[in-house]
Structure 1
């Protein structure tokens, strides 16, 4: 094992005690895989590869880290991999091959998010916080623009190259069909409703996924506003943020509104605690404006009106009750994946990420995930500057949303990278405004050799 000491690496092998510059020993990881992952997201969606591309890119990142031969770990990261190992062990309870395919996709996405966090931690010389946040900003912009398109062309469905080459046996599955031939909007007309509800969904198959992505990515956009050096960049982001209210309100998504409210309120309280009265006043004006828009646009009435025809709250409670009762019968490893319950006509382990984790991976799996998330929140409590507080708000927002909605790979990537940015900033005393490489110094990390015997020691 090799521990970092100051600006050099000191080996535990007495014969190799001479200090060597960190840059020379560690080498450097390229930034392009992360850029392709984040900035390339609109292309992946257009190709129909959005659900699968992150796993392939994660493999590329893993190969780069293995070939480099060293791995940096920072405090707060290991709980994720403990959760990942436990989730993998839950595969022993899968009932059939079809369920195993869904499990492989889900577990592969979780593993990919772990690799993204590791790669960001280890690519310190080439991956600055602003570069990653800009990539997340591209995804946010894609979500907003496609949401606006969904309001104009709600019935449009994208015909993708990958969808066209998949066999019909796969695309006949409704979920697969929506993933590879993604609609712009989720059109719902509950029984008794006088007209359908057109809820923006793209670049995701469902409106709830759009709402979760919007809630988690909007703090990243506000972080970019703080970090931007040019006034016109700030103005452009704020303009997009303003028009994003139209598709956001059109989703009539209560969980999204709750997440945004909790995250924004949290940041306001933390900013006030730091004595920055002017910033708090500005945030209050924004909140008042959003609330006024909710009433003036009739969106609040639409949200309440949709509940008159679709009582999802009472339905969710019955699902949660059945999910909890079933998990007590397999409390350690769970069932591997959600399963259909014929008595209520819906799969247990759905309608909320916490319930999926609990049902699929048992109480231990749920506990490990919450340990990672809540432990990371506490560990990065002293987030640097206003930009750090907005990133910390991503973690708080996710904690408010996961009881009600699930997290897909893009939403998990936003959460994981926000956590990684804060953990790396804490471990290396790194400024979030960093645009140039910094040396790998500071003693708050541990470096492991990965390729002993491959000539990369």
Structure 2
């Protein structure tokens, strides 16, 4: 961080200072806090450059604005009344989308002297270290939690909203009955367990680039010592999406790398697989694969989401909705004696489905086109940052089926997109 130019401090405050934001209760919404500073930097260097394909993101944002007209409507098979909770959720997402748009333009308009590519990559690597530490905290102290300053300040009718509560109340882990008994799933320093899993895999990609590919002997040794403990929370997270994502990342590297790099990668993967097979972690993975308890729930939610979205396919409904019943009965719901009963909101089992219910099939198609277009445009970039960025775009398209992109995941996806954009501009200039 020494010698960092003033213009680069907002992104450093976001990525390197993330643990502080989490403890204060801002969490993933800290990008909203630093966005005005980023906008100020942009304003001073007009005209502003924009990346290819960014028009798709502008259309996505415009569609979200239009979808507000449907906030008061209820699609068939859902229940609930239009109220403050639905409006707050919509406005929070809107502010987040605008902040992320500012962040991407800000990163792409900083010069290499103001923010070197490797510095930005290593900022993401610093957040990876924080993520591993949070995962270990979730494994060994799963009940750790505290009331944040933001939570103390907000009125109860806002802080009590489930979506808001996940963002402002720092907890080490979510306890769920995944294996037939209470099992803690690490989530610190993010908003929920699935966000921890997806974010870890994305940050691991950049950590390897910054600490191994561009690192000397000391940094490479430290990288091995930091990555090895990550296996513990990765397994204890019981996160099949994360495991699949790591498998896809390994396959991607084997396909795209060549020569000595491929041999080294194969050796590392083989050694890691052997150590894992001989460790007690193997048993927990086997138990998780034998307990696909969430498959029926996801199947019901996805089916109900597509059915609801088909009644407003162009602009969606602006926000999520609650389904009637669950995968077992149409009568299940929240009651006075079981406030946690019911079914998760539609669109909560993957960002693709979230976009369908909030912005219709049009919004989902724009999201896919934006990230798929990034893969197509940058596939030929064989530099370490180019290959890593394309891998993150591939993971983004994979995770949209199983993870909600809000809040921190989408931030990391777009920082990775900005790295690809900056890389292409540097190549063109050279």
Query: TM-score, with normalisation over the residues of structure 2?
Result: 0.87
What is the root-mean-square deviation in Å for CA atoms of aligned residues?
A: 2.1
State the partner residue of 2:225: 239
Q: 2:18 aligns with which of 35, 41, 50?
A: 41
Q: Distance in 2 between matches of 1:234 and 1:110?
A: 36
State the partner residue of 2:154: 166
Partners of 2:25 and 2:150 within 8 A in 1: yes
Offset of residue 424 of structure 1: 2.2
Residue aligned with 2:49, SS = strand
Q: Distance in 1 between matches of 2:160 and 2:348?
A: 21
Offset of residue 175 of structure 1: 3.7
Within 5 Å, which residues of 2 pair with 1:433-452?
none
Within 5 Å, which residues of 2 pair with 1:116-265?
116-124=103-111, 125-189=113-177, 193=180, 195-265=181-251
Q: 2:97 aligns with which of 91, 110, 115?
A: 110
Residue aligned with 2:175, SS = strand
Partners of 2:146 and 2:170 within 8 A in 1: yes
Q: Distance in 1 between matches of 2:116 and 2:317?
A: 40
Q: 1:70 aligns with which of 47, 51, 61?
A: 47
Within 5 Å, which residues of 2 pair with 1:308-319?
311-319=293-301
Q: CA offsets, 1:245-272, max 9 Å, x none?
A: 1111110110001111112211220113
Q: Distance in 2 between matches of 1:66 and 1:380?
A: 28
Offset of residue 309 of structure 1: 5.5
State the partner residue of 1:364: 362
Offset of residue 346 of structure 1: 3.0
State the partner residue of 1:392: 390
Q: CA offsets, 1:230-255, max 9 Å, x none?
A: 22112212221111111111101100
Residue aligned with 1:198, SS = strand
Q: CA offsets, 1:97-141, max 9 Å, x none?
A: 421210111122222222111111111241221121121112111
Offset of residue 226 of structure 1: 4.3
Farther off after superposition, 150-159 or 330-339: 150-159
Q: CA offsets, 1:359-414, max 9 Å, x none?
A: 11111111111111000000011124234212221111121111011123322122
Alignment of 1:100 with 2:77, yes or no, is: no
Residue aligned with 1:346, SS = coil
Q: Distance in 2 between matches of 1:278 and 1:271?
A: 9
Partners of 1:334 and 1:359 within 8 A in 2: yes
Q: Distance in 1 between matches of 2:129 and 2:266?
A: 24
Offset of residue 323 of structure 1: 1.1
Alignment of 1:282 with 2:240, yes or no, is: no
Structure 1 residues 310, 44: CA separation in 2 closer, same or farther (over 3 Å shift)?
A: same
State the partner residue of 1:376: 374
Partners of 1:225 and 1:238 within 8 A in 2: no
Q: CA offsets, 1:271-329, max 9 Å, x none?
A: 13xxxx22112211222233334433343432442465561112211211111111111
Partners of 1:39 and 1:135 within 8 A in 2: yes
State the partner residue of 1:269: 255
Partners of 2:319 and 2:357 within 8 A in 1: yes
Q: Distance in 1 between matches of 2:6 and 2:52?
A: 21
Q: CA offsets, 1:120-164, max 9 Å, x none?
A: 111124122112112111211111011112221111103322222
Q: Distance in 2 between matches of 1:235 and 1:93?
A: 54
Structure 1 residues 172, 354: CA separation in 2 closer, same or farther (over 3 Å shift)?
A: same
Q: CA offsets, 1:312-352, max 9 Å, x none?
A: 11221121111111111110001111100123233211201
Offset of residue 184 of structure 1: 0.4
* Aligned residue pairs, count: 399
**For structure 2, which runs of at least 5 residues remain unmatched after alignment?**
73-81, 327-342
Q: Distance in 1 between matches of 2:266 and 2:159?
A: 47
Q: Which has the higher contact order (CA 8 A, sep 6+)?
A: 1
Query: TM-score, with normalisation over the residues of structure 1?
Result: 0.82
